[in-house]
């Protein structure tokens, strides 16, 4: 098990869904079926984007016991940040973080996504999971990009187009960075995280990882549903898993 942490992560949900596709995973998620526990099976995580959201998420992965490489185009600027997180955290370039990760988390302005794909699509396609946290936002990325992404079917499909072959799951797109640490492992019912993806194994790994850092993943559909996982839409913000299922059921 320790020699293949990805298999350990994916095994139970992957076996459950392998024969019956995404619908079965949705059913499994609804039933709160336990996923693989991760003790003793750390995954190396490469963070592309270590700003507000990437920094907060990466901190949660470190807290859960995973080695994390935070990246920047100026990695020396991350030295103080990673030093405060202990020995599991390190800083590197974007290239280094992508090489390092068993999985890669991308939390960058959406305008930078196409360039990341041009430079790294081949490497990203070899990862079992690429979590896309990024959103097209008019005030930062411009109205034209937001309109174009919408015309292409939304950010899930556009990320897939820009990162061909990558096993993408959209997640954490609309939970504010300032709230992540506080909401993780909150007492009582966990906060739900709507996720969208097309690949059962990637979804299963994401599912385990999200649970491990203290949230409850709720699969709302394939990457085309990723258009609903942006701030300011009904699924945006903080919801219980049951609320997410209810909202997702009214979307198409």
Ligand X SMILES: NC(=O)c1ccc[n+]([C@@H]2O[C@H](COP(=O)([O-])OP(=O)(O)OC[C@H]3O[C@@H](n4cnc5c(N)ncnc54)[C@H](OP(=O)(O)O)[C@@H]3O)[C@@H](O)[C@H]2O)c1
Q: What is the DSSP letter of 36?
A: -
Q: Which of 33, 34, 37, 52 binds ligand X (CB under 6 A)?
A: 52
Q: Which of 28, 45, 50, 219 binds ligand X (CB under 6 A)?
A: 50
The alpha-helical segments, DSSP class H, found in the chain are 5-18, 21-30, 52-63, 79-83, 94-100, 113-125, 138-141, 143-151, 155-162, 177-183, 200-212, 241-249
Q: What is the DSSP letter of 147?
A: H
- Contact of 62 with 84, CB cutoff 8 Å: no
Q: Is 135 in the site for ligand X (CB under 6 A)?
A: yes
Least Å from the CB of residue 115 to ligand X = 5
Gap between the Cα atoms of 81 and 79, Å rounded: 5
Q: For residues 133 and 244, which CB has a smaller minimum distance to ligand X in the complex?
A: 133
Q: Is 49 in the site for ligand X (CB under 6 A)?
A: yes
Q: Is 159 in the site for ligand X (CB under 6 A)?
A: no
Q: Which of 42, 51, 142, 153 binds ligand X (CB under 6 A)?
A: 51
Q: Is 229 in the site for ligand X (CB under 6 A)?
A: no
Q: Which of 228, 154, 192 has its CA nearest to residue 30?
A: 192
Gap between the Cα atoms of 61 and 175, Å rounded: 16
Q: Which of 38, 41, 72, 90 binds ligand X (CB under 6 A)?
A: 72
Q: Which of 4, 96, 1 has its CA nearest to residue 50?
A: 96
**174-193: contacts with ligand X (CB under 6 A):** 174, 176-177
Q: How many residues bind ligand X (CB under 6 A)?
A: 26
Q: Alpha-carbon Rg of the chain, whole angstroms? A: 17
Judged by CB under 6 A, the stretch of 3-11, 50-58, 96-104, 188-196 that binds ligand X is 50-58
Residues that bind ligand X (CB under 6 A): 48-54, 72-74, 94, 107-110, 112, 115, 133-135, 137, 172-174, 176-177
């Amino acid at each position: 098990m320790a020699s293949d942490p990805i298999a350990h992560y994916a095994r139970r949900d992957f076996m459950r869904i392998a024969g019956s596709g995404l619908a079965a995973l949705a059913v499994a998620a609804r039933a709160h079926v336990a996923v693989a526990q991760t003790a003793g099976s750390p995954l190396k995580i490469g963070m592309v984007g270590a700003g507000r959201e990437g920094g907060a998420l990466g901190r949660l992965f470190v807290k859960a016991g995973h080695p994390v490489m935070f990246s920047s185009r100026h990695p020396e600027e991350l030295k103080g940040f990673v030093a405060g997180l202990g020995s599991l955290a390190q800083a590197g370039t974007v290239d280094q973080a992508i090489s390092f990760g068993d999985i890669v988390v991308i939390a960058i302005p959406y305008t930078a996504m196409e360039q990341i794909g041009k430079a790294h699509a081949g490497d990203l396609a070899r990862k079992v999971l690429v979590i896309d946290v990024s959103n097209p936002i008019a005030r930062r990325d411009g109205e034209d990009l937001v309109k174009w992404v919408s015309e292409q079917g939304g950010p899930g499909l556009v990320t897939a187009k820009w990162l061909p072959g990558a096993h993408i799951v959209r997640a954490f797109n609309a939970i504010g960075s300032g709230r992540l640490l506080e909401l993780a492992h909150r007492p009582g019912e966990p906060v739900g995280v709507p996720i969208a993806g097309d690949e059962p194994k990637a979804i299963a790994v994401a599912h385990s990882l999200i649970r491990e850092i203290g949230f409850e993943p709720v699969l709302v559909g394939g990457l085309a549903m990723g258009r609903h996982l942006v701030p300011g839409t009904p699924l945006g913000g903080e919801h219980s898993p049951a609320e997410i299922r209810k909202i997702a059921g009214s979307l198409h």
